[in-house]
Every structure is written in C-alpha cells, then in structure tokens.
Structure 1
Amino acid sequence: MRRQPFQNILSLMFFLLSFFLFAQDNRKASLPNVVFILADDIGYGDIGVYGGKVPTPNIDSLAAQGIRFTDAHSPAALCAPSRYSFLTGSYPYRNGRPGGSWDANFSSGFSFNGDRTKAGKHITVGEIMQDAGYETAFFGKMHLGADVFDKDGKLITEKDKLNTMDYSRGVEDGLNEHGFDYCLGLLSGIQHEPFAYFENGHYKPIDPRNPADNSSTRLLKNGFYRVSDNGLSEIVEAGKVPARGDEDYDSSQAGIILTSAAVNFIDRHQRENDKKDVDQPFMLYFASQAIHVPHTPPFDFDGDPSTINKQVYGKTGAVTSDMVYELDLQVGEIINKLEEEGIADNTLIIFTSDNGALWPNVTHYGNKDHDNNGHFRDYKASIYEGGHRVPFIAKWGDGSKEGSRIKPASVSDQVIVGHDWVAAMYELTGQDMAEDQAKDSASILPILLGKQPENKKLHDFVLYQAGFAYDGAIREDDLVLMVNRDNEATELYDLSTDKAQENNLIDNENYSETITKMKQKFLKYNDHNNETVEPRTTKAFKVK
C-alpha cells in the first residue's frame, strides 16, 4: 500500500528529530570531564617542572603528559580578587571590587557590584558548564563573599561581628546559587573566620555526631591548638576579637577533608551515571588550601598517624615545603581516582595558582636552592612579575602522542591570564559568550590543542593588578608599564631583555611616545570609578 504524503512528512520529521537527539546525546558524551585545580600561594618556581626543589611528582606528571605555560599570570597578585576572576573570566574590578570579596561579611562578588542595593549579574563558569549538561562541584577555599546572619536575623556586614554568626541558618547567595550543584568548603579559607565547613550553604560539623548549630562551635584566638593525633591546628589571623569556628576545627586536616570530598564526588557521580546508564560529564573545581598560612601539614595524609603511609609533616625538612608536598599529594589523589574510574584519559585537567610566590619571611623551604619565584622580581601582592607569574599546566589524554588531545611534554610561551580558561569552556561546550560576560577572557583551547601558532598572540595586551589594586600595569608584547594609585606612569620594563625587571626605562626618551599611549590605554580599560562602562579587553567568543 502506498504511503500518503502526510505520512511521509511525519516519518521524515520523526527521523530528523531522532537524529538531532542522537547527535546531541553523542555530543554530550564526547565532552570531557573537566578538573580545575587552583593552588593557593604557589609561585612560579615552586613546582618541580618549573625548577622547584620540593618533590611534586604528580603535578610534574601533568606537564609531562600535557602542556606547560611559561608566561601565565594570575588575574591579580592576591587571592580574593583573583578568585572572582577565575570563576567569571573578568578582571577583578569588573564587579566594583578590585580588591576582592574576601570574607562572609562581604556580599557575593557575583550578585552585586560591590553594593547590596545595586543589581548586577556575573555568570560563573559553573553556570556555563551546567548549561552544557555538566554536573558541577566546588571544593575548597572561597573568599567570594556571601550572606550570613546573626541570631536575630540581621545581615552581618562587619568582620569583627562574624563571631555572632548564626551557624544553624547557614549561608545564602553562595556558590550553589551561582552554578554549582554541589559545594563543600571554607568560606574564607583556613586563615579567616568562620573556621568551619559549609556544604551546599549549610554548616557541616566536622564531627557528624555534633548538631549543625551554634552549640558545636567555639571562640578561637590566635595560636596553636592540638585537636587531633594527626597534626597541629593554628589560628593566625583571628585578630583582636576572638573568632568563631567548629569546636573540632583543625587546620592541618583541611587538605585531607577537601580532597576526600572531591574523590567521593567523582565516585558518586560515576555511580549515578552507571545507575542511570548515562554518560554525563562533570566539572570539578578544586580550590586547595595549600600552601596558605597557617603552615600546619598533617602527620599522615591517609589520616591515620599510627601507621604513616603518606608522611607529610617533616617530609621535606620545613613546614612550607611540606605544604607544597601535601598539595602534590592532593593532586595525586584526584588523578588516581580518575584513573581508577577509567576516565582520566577523557578528563581535561588544569592546574594553576591564585597569585605569585610567598614573601621571604614565610618561605622556609628547607632547601637553600629552592627559588619559589623563579628569579622573577618580588612576591605575592606585588605588581612585579613575581607577584603574579604562576605555573599553568593542562593535560587531556593518556600521555601518549596518539592518545592525547594535548600534545605531551609541550611548552607554550604565550602570554595568558589564568581566567582565560573560562572562555575555553565556552568554546569547549560550543556556547556563545554574552558581550557583558567574561569580558577579559580569551580562549586558550586552540593553544591547548596545538591549533594556534606561537607567533599568533592570544592577547593584544593584558592588565596586571597588585594585591589590593593600589597599583596596576599594562603589558603589550614584552613591554610592561606600571601605573600607581595616582595614575602616574612610574616604571617601564622590557621583559625580552630584562625578566628580573632591574632596568627601569621610564626616563628613556626613546620610549616617551610608547609610554603615553600605553598609559592612555591602561586608564581607558582600568577605570575603577566607572565599572559599568569599560570596554571589553577581548572579543566575546562566538560559535562560528
């Protein structure tokens, strides 16, 4: 019997719909898992593959199987402003807070432009990945702001009032509201109050037998506390007003707790995939507490000091380098879990740091030959190269030439900023970027995949920011012009011949016109007093 034309049309429509759905499912299945690892205070020279003398075999293996960047920079030379940028792809000043959103007495850096009464929206990489069908999770140090309240329901806006926080109420406007399906972490890292873990906005006592309310907290003062058999806990920045935290809080166990939770997330995600017979990818954002002060490494990373299987404290001869070694163990635990699940080869792993190397007064590495800033000038919080030049490593594949999307043991000298990975996630997942989002991010995906020649630069220029945005700089090619808080051009360096920044060219007449143009460009793109109108520094990524 001959089909009617209408039936033929229906059949064709059904076939096209089925093909579209099949293609979509296949596209999702082909997308890699993504693990982004953000270290705290790791300098350019802290990692073995960058010349460091502390053992970092797991991080080194990522470089051996992937790509290492030699000219990568954190968005700012200090943690809080950088952390906003790593999640949004925009420079720190874009939300009206060039100095960062720091502790929980600040409102969220994503919801407001530095003013709780002023509406604004800064899309995070978590939301980007959710839109692409990923399950997203965050573990670790935040310093991104949030809303917390006292027992009377009053919003806390002063840091010295955080010890009046009503823990039973938890946190509002946190990362769960900004793109993360699951979140476990420390609102202000291991150095600031509240000294407690929050899971999906709810206070999560370290001892599950304790109630999740104020009765399981205590006031803490600066100093050491022996609260476990596996390490010493220290409070270093509580200030004059006693800080509140979990009564079982132990800074030496933070890395163990966060890493175990990240590994458990991968396990849980894979079990759910198997149960549902799907292949949903995940994006895991791991913000390590290492190596920020207090430097309190655990005795044993396995958590049982009675049998030292993975020694940390005393492993390297100094507590700071012990923390670097612990960081490497954290990375190793995550890599091992990916391999155990058989998904390591289809997981894009990125490793970098929130700012440059620690200052000399806290850098006790136990090895006199260890140079944590890699011979670059100055340290964390500084506008000089040592303040923001950081390791940046990416791996995607099995480590062989044939089985890797990223060429093994490759090195790139491209100038990149850490938040360029955000644009790469737009490109990876095939999504257009809105003009008002990720305003300073350029996709590094073509570089990772070997599709962009080294002589084709990613950025026409980049901006540098010191710790609290008091001083800034603009870089074009190898020239770096520094501009102080009074908008005066004070120093000019040519990194092609002077990586240590010892020869200030600001008074060299041959550069007078260049200095004028670079200063004008810096002021055009870095007007902190008018955060709503600065133009993009990069082109918004669009799917071609």
Structure 2
Amino acid sequence: MPDPARPNVLVILADDMGYSDVGCYGGEIGTPHIDGLADRGVRLTNFYNTARCSPSRASLLTGLHPHQTGVAELVNNDGPAGYPGSLTERCATLAEAFRAAGYRTHMTGKWHLSNEREQPDGTWPTRRGFDRFWGTISGAGSYFQTTTLHDGEIPIPLSELGEDFYYTDEIGSHAAGAIRDAAAHGQPFFGYVAFTAPHWPLHAKDEDLANTRGRFDEGWDVLRTRRHRRQIAAGICAENATLDDRDPAVIAWDDEPEQKWQLQRMEVYAAQVQAMDRAVGRILAALDDTGQRDNTIVVFLSDNGGCAEELSSDPESAQRFRRHHLIIPPRAPDGTPMRVGNTPEIRPGTADTYTSYGRAWANLSNTPFRLYKRWVHEGGISTPLIVSWPNGGFSGGVLDAPHQLTDIAPTLFEATEVQPLAERNGRTLPSLPGVSMLDVLRGGQAVEHDLFWEHIGNAAIRVGRWKLVHEYGSPWELYDLASDRSERNDLAGEYPDRVQDLAARWQDWADAVGVLPYNQVLVARARMPRQPA
C-alpha cells in the first residue's frame, strides 16, 4: 500500500460545464457521485477559472497566469508578436514537481496545451511530467470517433475503437486503472483527469438519454428560477442575491417556435454531464477498492462557464474547422457524411452529427450569472470547486472566500509538502503568484489577495467585494459583488476614483505577467501564413 503519510492528489476537470449544472450547485441534471464529493468535502462559491479551456488548463497545471505559460488564448501559434499557443520551457507542470518528489503521475483525457497535434514534441504530456498518458492532444471531438487519441505517444486510429466506444466512459476506465496500478506499486500518485464532457458536440448514449428525457420540458425560464432558489437554499448564493435577467438575445421559452428541438439539445447535454458523473463514480470506486479514498485530495472543477457557441451548418466553415482542429471525423461510423451545425433538421446526439446546445441553455447553465465562456464577467469565469480530503480535515462546508486557478498549486504543494520546482532544464522559473487555500478549506481565515483576468481583450480584477471588468473595446464596469454577484448594477459612474485605482492595479499585473494588447495579437494573427487547404 502507498505511504499513508503522503496524500495522493487527483484533479478532475470538466469541459465547458456551467456554474449551476451539478446538483450540489443547484442543477437538476443528477450528479450523485460529484455531489457525494461535496458531502465529504467543501464547496467554494467564489472560485474562478480563466474563461477558456486551454488557458485554464495551463494555469491549473502550472500555478501561473496563462500569459506566463505561452497559452493565453488557445493553441494557435500567433508568431513572435503573439502568443506561441504551446507550453513554454519557462514553466513547470504539477506533474513534473510531483514526479520529482517520488509520485507516480498519470493523465487521462484532453490535453489541449500544444499546437503540435500529430508529432510528439516537448509540449506533450509525456514530456511534461506524466509517466502515463491516455487521451487526446487536441480539444473537443467526437465522443464516438475520437480523433488525436493517443496511448502515450502512440496514436490510436479510429479503426481500433470498438462499437461501444464512448470517450467519457473510457476516460473513467483508464483513470481508474492508473489509480489501481499506483496502489499496486506502493507509491503515492498525482492524477489529472480531463474530461471533454459536456463540451460540444452533443453526443450521448441511448441509455443516458433515457434518463434525461422530459427533465427540461418546462423550459429555460422556469428552470433558471428554480435553480436559483435551490442555490439560495444550499448556501451557494446569499438570500439577497439577484438573478440576472434572461439574456436579451434569448427569447422567452413560451415564444420559442422550436421547443421540441431545443429540448433535445439540452437533454443530450445533460446526458453528457450524467455520463461524466458515472465516470467520476468509477474513478472514486478505484480509490475505495484500493483503500486510498481517505488519503486522496480530490479536486473537481470546470475550465470555463457554459458555452454559448453556435456551430455553423455552412459546408465550407465545417471543412475549415475540421482541417485546422482535426476534431471532426470525415464520416460517421456507418460511412454516412457528418451533419454539422445547429438547425432543427439535425437532431443532436448521434455519431453522425456535430452540434452544440446554444446560448439559451448556456444561460441556464450559468445561473445566476450573465455572459459565457470567453467573457470574464461572472458567467464566463465562475466554476464549481469541490475539494475532498477526509484525512485532511475538510468536511461538508460551503465557503465564500474568493480564489482562482493560480491558488490550486500552492494549496496542493502545502498539503503534500511537495516543493514547486525552482528551475527546469537549467532555466530559473517564476515564483507562483497564488496563495494556498489549505487553511481556509479547514475552516480558517481567508488570505485576501487580488484576482486578475485577461482573455481575448476582455479584462477584470477583483479586490475583495469589488470587481472591475470590461469587454474588449468597451469601457470599464464596476460591481459590488457582495450585493450584486450577477453584475446588474454598474457603479463605475459613482466611484470614478475606485475605477481608476483598480484599472491601474490591473495594468501593473498585465505588464508583469506579459499580457499582450489584444489589437497587437489580432495584427500578428492576420500576418501569419494561412494553413494550406
């Protein structure tokens, strides 16, 4: 058995899942295994990601702000005047630090931190500290025909995937297997499980869909109000918390002309969340079976808020998307052409489709907030964070202390007494900017510290109860999150001195971590050579 004095670490990341989708944060989908983690641990209500998948992964795995890692937007290389889009040599991953301390390290699922998707290079997980890797190098993809899938550095062709292959289930099985192997070798482990669920495309197994049919028939308006009431009852939101109005771009449910199709979209999305919860249950069962549950720090969160992206049905757009990202199979398993896009003529869920659930349902997922993935308003950056460690003194609490991704690495290092790497391949590494949450997770006092964000020109800073935020090209907005977490009442005009002070603090941070002016990034991107057809 592993040394009981050295806790294991297991980080579980959902993809594009909104703040209120899991049951213990107000959702009606049904997530008993994830909710069980909360029952044996703590929930944070004011925890933040970085608004997009790749930057969140980079920050989570390094403890740095995304701009310090080379992955500030996605995995596109924008040349010398933009971000490189792959992990730089000037950062170390958690896996590298834990492996140096004698831990076995494994990863299953989505990497999405390298702009080289086909040929192994120094930015692949096998070369950034993971002893064992099974998963995808690229971003989202088919759940039935998963592209860029690798076992270590060996590609797994579509022809080798069985008829019953479903990516979420396989991620759970491989993660459970890695946990059992670590126990057999008597070593503590650092595990990273990065699901693609519930990121588009909308793909679900029939048995999962059977459990979600009819659950959303009352529509997004009624369900959003009910989620908010459950959040207040559970202590996720304060009793005086406001519910942001329905997105102005979303029509009332009663006026929706395609209700049947809209319900199908949300039912498939919910089935994907349920499949992920089932896979989490399989992983936790491996901890139980090997006697490691009580001494394993389990962290569960999402990489960004709910996703409002609509997929185009235009054939040229779909072909360009497939070519640049390698994530749409050329044909369905039965040889029929893929049907890409969000139209009522394409019923979501099956392997021959490639669709998303859209803005209206993302607005439900992000209850009680506004805006979505890509924005740094609350709907884009707020995530559930559940931390369970029975031996560590965590027990069933709901905590309101504000924290963000850069605080996870210091917390894990303090809890395990593992030291962060000071250098890598002869390069001195930057010190970690975050603070440990260990004391607050045990019921102690929170450490006040400023929180910062920048993504595609959208920017924000939170200092205590105050948040300054703007969209690219728009003026700063100021919110008192203690009474207005939904960002309904902009106070910038009432407190110009506070706006000026927070904006100056944000700029100092941006200069320190290497934030590039977004107009410069756009110019650099426009000058990059186009990919060949």
Q: Please, what TM-score do these two structures have when normalized by structure 1?
A: 0.69
C-alpha separation in 2, matches of 1:518 and 1:440: 18
- Residue 190 (structure 1) aligned with residue 140 (structure 2): yes
Q: Is the alpha carbon distance of 1:297 and 1:446 closer, same or farther for their aligned partners in structure 2, counting shifts above 3 Å?
A: same
Q: Where do residues 253-402 of structure 1 align in structure 2 (5 Å cutoff)?
A: 253-271=166-184, 273=185, 279-299=186-206, 311-317=207-213, 318-359=267-308, 362-363=356-357, 371-397=364-390
User: Residue 515 of structure 1 aligns with which residue?
Assistant: 499
Query: Could you tell me whether the CA contact under 8 Å between 1:81 and 1:100 is conserved in 2?
Result: yes
Stretches of structure 1 that go unaligned for 5 or more consecutive residues are 1-24, 149-164, 211-226, 231-249, 274-278, 300-310, 398-403, 533-544
User: Residue 97 of structure 2 aligns with which residue?
Assistant: 128
Q: Is the alpha carbon distance of 1:81 and 1:117 closer, same or farther for their aligned partners in structure 2, counting shifts above 3 Å?
A: closer
C-alpha separation in 2, matches of 1:146 and 1:172: 11
Aligned residues: 409
User: Residue 458 of structure 1 aligns with which residue?
Assistant: 447
C-alpha separation in 1, matches of 2:87 and 2:297: 37
C-alpha separation in 1, matches of 2:32 and 2:394: 19
Stretches of structure 2 that go unaligned for 5 or more consecutive residues are 214-266, 311-355, 423-427, 517-533
Q: What displacement does 1:432 show?
A: 4.5
Q: Is the alpha carbon distance of 1:270 and 1:115 closer, same or farther for their aligned partners in structure 2, counting shifts above 3 Å?
A: same
Q: Which amino acid aligns with 2:505?
A: K
C-alpha separation in 1, matches of 2:177 and 2:511: 44
Query: Could you tell me whether the CA contact under 8 Å between 2:46 and 2:403 is conserved in 1?
Result: yes
Measured against aligned partners, the alpha-carbon deviations of 1:455-502 in whole angstroms (never above 9, x if no partner) come to xx334210133xx4311111111111124545x742111111112111
Q: What displacement does 1:436 show?
A: 4.0
C-alpha separation in 1, matches of 2:275 and 2:86: 42
C-alpha separation in 2, matches of 1:522 and 1:436: 23
Q: Alignment partner of 1:345: what SS?
A: coil
Q: Alignment partner of 2:269: what SS?
A: helix
C-alpha separation in 2, matches of 1:284 and 1:118: 19
Q: What displacement does 1:113 show?
A: 9.3
Measured against aligned partners, the alpha-carbon deviations of 1:329-355 in whole angstroms (never above 9, x if no partner) come to 111110111111121111111100000
User: Residue 477 of structure 2 aligns with which residue?
Assistant: 491
C-alpha separation in 1, matches of 2:268 and 2:192: 26
Q: Is the alpha carbon distance of 1:132 and 1:429 closer, same or farther for their aligned partners in structure 2, counting shifts above 3 Å?
A: farther
- Residue 143 (structure 1) aligned with residue 132 (structure 2): no
Q: Which amino acid aligns with 1:520?
A: A
Query: Which one of 432, 438, 442 corresponds to residue 435 of structure 2?
Result: 442
Query: Could you tell me whether the CA contact under 8 Å between 1:321 and 1:365 is conserved in 2?
Result: no
- Residue 92 (structure 1) aligned with residue 66 (structure 2): yes
Q: Is the alpha carbon distance of 1:492 and 1:369 closer, same or farther for their aligned partners in structure 2, counting shifts above 3 Å?
A: closer
Q: What displacement does 1:531 show?
A: 5.8
Query: Which one of 451, 456, 464 corresponds to residue 469 of structure 1?
Result: 456
Measured against aligned partners, the alpha-carbon deviations of 1:48-107 in whole angstroms (never above 9, x if no partner) come to 011101100000000011101011111x111111111111111111134421326xx799
Deviates more, 1:326-335 or 1:257-266: 257-266
Measured against aligned partners, the alpha-carbon deviations of 1:15-59 in whole angstroms (never above 9, x if no partner) come to xxxxxxxxxx99x54111111000001111001011101100000
Root mean square deviation of aligned Cα: 3.3
User: Residue 12 of structure 1 aligns with which residue?
Assistant: none
C-alpha separation in 2, matches of 1:267 and 1:106: 41
Query: Which one of 498, 511, 514 corresponds to residue 527 of structure 1?
Result: 511
Q: Is the alpha carbon distance of 1:65 and 1:198 closer, same or farther for their aligned partners in structure 2, counting shifts above 3 Å?
A: same
C-alpha separation in 2, matches of 1:116 and 1:53: 37
Structure possessing the higher relative contact order (Cα contacts under 8 Å, 6 or more residues apart): 2
Q: Alignment partner of 2:400: what SS?
A: strand
Query: Could you tell me whether the CA contact under 8 Å between 2:40 and 2:388 is conserved in 1?
Result: yes
Q: What displacement does 1:449 show?
A: 2.9
Q: Is the alpha carbon distance of 1:204 and 1:437 closer, same or farther for their aligned partners in structure 2, counting shifts above 3 Å?
A: farther
Query: Could you tell me whether the CA contact under 8 Å between 2:61 and 2:409 is conserved in 1?
Result: yes
Query: Could you tell me whether the CA contact under 8 Å between 1:140 and 1:189 is conserved in 2?
Result: no
Q: Alignment partner of 2:477: what SS?
A: strand
C-alpha separation in 1, matches of 2:309 and 2:154: 38
User: Residue 46 of structure 1 aligns with which residue?
Assistant: 21
C-alpha separation in 2, matches of 1:342 and 1:127: 26
Query: Percent identity between the aligned chains?
Result: 28
